[in-house]
Amino acid sequence: MSQTNSKILIVDDNEDILFAARLLLKSHAGKIVTEKEPENIPNLIQSDNFDVIFLDMNFTQDMTSGQEGFYWLKKILQLDPASVVILITAYGDVEMAVKAVKEGATDFVLKPWQNEKFLATLSSALRLRESRQELQSLKSRQKQLNELYDEKFHDIIGVSHQMQSVFNTVKKVAKTNANVLITGENGTGKELVARALHRYSERAKDVFISVDMGAISQTLFESELFGHVRGAYTDAKEDRAGRFEIASGGTLFLDEIGNLSIELQSKLLTVIENRQVARVGSNKYNPIDIRLICATNMPISELVKANKFRQDLLYRINTVEINLPPLRERTEDIPLLAEHFLELNKRKYNKPELKYADDTIHKLSIYDWPGNIRELQHAVERAVILSESDVLSVSDFFFKSKTGIGDHDDINTFNLEEIEKNVIKKVLKRHKGNISKAAEELGLTRTSLYRRLEKYGL
C-alpha cells in the first residue's frame, strides 16, 4: 500500500498533539483526519475507511488509567475488526502495552514521540492493514465461490448407485476433520469431491487451497509447501509462506499425491504428524491447523506393496477413502452430464437454441469415455463451438472408436468375424452379461445373439 494513498485518523484531546501529528504525517499520507472528541469515532469510521487509527489512551475524563483508550479500542474493533489501531499515551508502561496488544492494538507509542519511530510504526501498520485487506478479500472470494457452488454437490451429477454412495459418504465425512483420500481415474471429478467436502465442513468460510503435486518439481517441493525465509536460497528475495501455512484454518487439497518420491513422502509425513511446519532456511516452527484431503489416480495400495509409497503415510492420509468410478461404469449418468454441459456451454457461447439429436445421447451413452467426465465436458464444448445448426448430431462429436461403443484401441485385424466377436464381448461386458440389453444395443434378436455366442464360444 502506498503511504501517499493511505487514510489516517488521529484521535486525541490535545490540540498540540493533533497539530504535531498532522504536520509530521502530511507528506506521508494521502488523507489525515484529526478528532478531539472520541464520541465522534463511530460516525467517522462508518463514513470513511481508515487504514490506520492513532488513538490516545487518556482523555480529560480519565487522565492516567488508560481505561477510556481501552474502551474506544474495543469499540473501534467492533465496528471494523480489520482496523489497525496504534495507542498513544504519555503514561505508558510495559504492562499497559502488553494489555493493549492482547486486546487488539497493533502497536503502542509514547508521547513525546521520536519522529523516526513514529513514521516506522506507521509504515509497519500500513503493511499490516494491506495484509488484512488481502486476507479479507480472499475470504470474501471464497464465500462467493461457496455460494456459487451451493447447489447440491454442484457439478457432481449422478443418479447411479455408485454416485449415490459417494454422496452419502461425503455427507457423513464432511462435518468431521478426518483426513480423506479420493481415488479414481483422471477426469472422474476428484477435485470436485474435495471441494464438496470443504463446502459442507465447519471450515467452509476459510480457504480451500489446491496443490497439484505432480506439477511441483523435487527442488521446489519444500519451498512451495512449507515456505521459505529470505536468503534461504539464491532466488529467495523475501519471506514467503508455504501452502500449509496459507491453508491453516481451512482445507488443503494435495492432488496426485502418488507422484511423490519416497524422500518427499517422508518430509510430508513429518509435517502431518507434528502439525507444525518450518520454512526453508528457518528453525522456527509454526503450528498449522488444516483439514487434509488427498487424491490420486494411481493404485496406491500396489505402490505400497512395491515399496514406492510409505505405508505409514497412507495410514495418515486415508482415515476415509472415497473411490470415484469411471464414467464407463456409470453410463446412466451420461445423459444427465451431457445435458448439464450443454446448458453451461449454450450460455457461454450464446447459442440458446442448441439441443441434441435423438440418437446423439444414445451414442454418447455407449461410448467408453477413457478420459471420463473431463473428456465428455470437452467433447460437448467442442461440439457447441463448431456446430453450424441448432441440433447436435453424432457427426459433431469425435469418437476414437468407429463403432461408437468405446472400442478406442486401434483395430489390429480386418477379419470381420474377429471384429464381430470383440464387439459382442464389449457389449456384454458393458451390460454385465444381460442378454436382452446387449441384443438391443447390437440390433439383434435374443435368438440371433445366442447363436453368435455359441459360434464364438462366448
Least confident stretch, 2-16, 162-176, 264-278, 306-320? 2-16
- pLDDT (average), residues 394-398: 88
**Architecture label for domain 328-396:** Orthogonal Bundle (1.10)
Q: Please give the Cα distance from 308 to 225 (Å, whole number).
A: 21
Cβ atoms of 391 and 357 closer than 8 Å: yes
- pLDDT (average), residues 413-438: 79
Name which of 136, 263, 162, 145 is nearest 210 in CA terms: 145
Class of domain 416-456: mainly alpha
Question: For residue 436, is pLDDT > 60?
Answer: yes
- pLDDT (average), residues 42-68: 79
DSSP 187-221: TS-HHHHHHHHHHTSTTTTS-EEEEEGGGS-TTTH
Cβ atoms of 101 and 79 closer than 8 Å: no
Beginning with the edge strand found earlier in the chain, give each strand of the sheet holding 320-323 in spatial order.
Answer: 208-212, 251-255, 291-296, 180-183, 320-323
Going by pLDDT thresholds of 50, 70 and 90, the confidence category of residue 426 is confident
Question: For residue 152, is pLDDT > 50?
Answer: no
Q: Could you tell me which residues come within 8 angstroms of residue 410 by beta carbon, excluding any fewer than 6 positions away?
A: none
Going by pLDDT thresholds of 50, 70 and 90, the confidence category of residue 409 is very low
- pLDDT (average), residues 317-337: 94
pLDDT at position 94 is 63
Query: What are 60's three cell numbers?
Result: 480529560
Q: Please give the Cα distance from 338 to 300 (Å, whole number).
A: 31
- pLDDT (average), residues 295-300: 93
Cβ atoms of 83 and 132 closer than 8 Å: no
Amino acid at 1: M
Question: For residue 65, is pLDDT > 90?
Answer: no
DSSP state at residue 39:
G
Q: How many CB atoms lie within 10 A of CB 147?
A: 9
Which helix (H) or strand (E) segment is 320 a member of?
A: strand 320-323
**Architecture label for domain 3-136:** 3-Layer(aba) Sandwich (3.40)
Q: Please give the Cα distance from 68 to 382 (Å, whole number).
A: 66
DSSP state at residue 299:
-
Question: For residue 407, is pLDDT > 50?
Answer: no
Going by pLDDT thresholds of 50, 70 and 90, the confidence category of residue 251 is very high
Q: Please give the Cα distance from 91 to 73 (Å, whole number).
A: 17
Question: For residue 49, is pLDDT > 70?
Answer: yes
In CATH, the number for domain 171-324 is: 3.40.50.300
- Per CATH, 3-136 and 171-324 having the same topology is answered yes
pLDDT at position 1 is 52
Q: Could you tell me which residues come within 8 angstroms of residue 266 by beta carbon, excluding any fewer than 6 positions away?
A: 310
Question: For residue 62, is pLDDT > 90?
Answer: no
The reported pTM is: 0.59
DSSP 344-369: HHHHHTT-TT-EE-TTHHHHHHTS--
Q: Where are the domains of the chain?
A: 3-136, 171-324, 328-396, 416-456
The owner of cell 469499540 is: 75
Going by pLDDT thresholds of 50, 70 and 90, the confidence category of residue 63 is low
Please state whether beta strands 227-228 and 240-241 pair in parallel, antiparallel, or not at all (unpaired). Answer: antiparallel
Query: What are 28's three cell numbers?
Result: 506521508
Which helix (H) or strand (E) segment is 383 a member of?
A: helix 372-386
Reported as a single tens digit per residue, the pLDDT across 75-102 is 898 888 888 999 887 765 667 767 877 8
Query: What are 390's three cell numbers?
Result: 441448432
Name which of 442, 435, 370 is nearest 406 in CA terms: 370
- Bond prior to 112 in cis (omega within 30° of 0): yes
Cβ atoms of 388 and 367 closer than 8 Å: no
